[in-house]
Chain A
């Protein structure tokens, strides 16, 4: 059974950093395309980043240069390192596996609230 369990959310001050972790089970992250999606309070879904099975990474324009995505194959985990955080990064962050096609999320984790505020 595919399972994604995210951790690491919380309150951070503007300009601060936070690392989100996503523990996968039931499959191997190194062989998959893994995505992070976020949802600001009361708003819609926003695609944030993807890491391909070949290790290539891509980001939405608003986080380029501030966020990095990585994985640890030995731990079967995916990470989202978020630096220079801003108030508009406040959102619930979801990790997901692109099960059904290369691009769109399929199986989703439970979501983590990240609040950027002083």
Chain B
């Protein structure tokens, strides 16, 4: 079984530029999560999708972050414009369904450095 695929693995941009991350979950997983993990901290949920609908985006800074999962499969997370404090690893995870009672499978993450 293929894992959760993420790209790019690394990205360096200057502040005020934009960046996009892509995630392809495990086939058949209805629930997809995007997390932000700042160095030394635990992951923070940014957004949770159930198929192509948003379940929870309460911690997504909507003035600069956006995410979509149009066909209920892969997803993109965009930051525009980026700030220095957005430097972090952006993790994508998926599970069969979103009650929290299924195993989470994580991608390798996308490390963003904002200069």
Q: Do A and B come from one complex?
A: no
Q: Which residues of A contact B (CB under 8 A)?
A: none
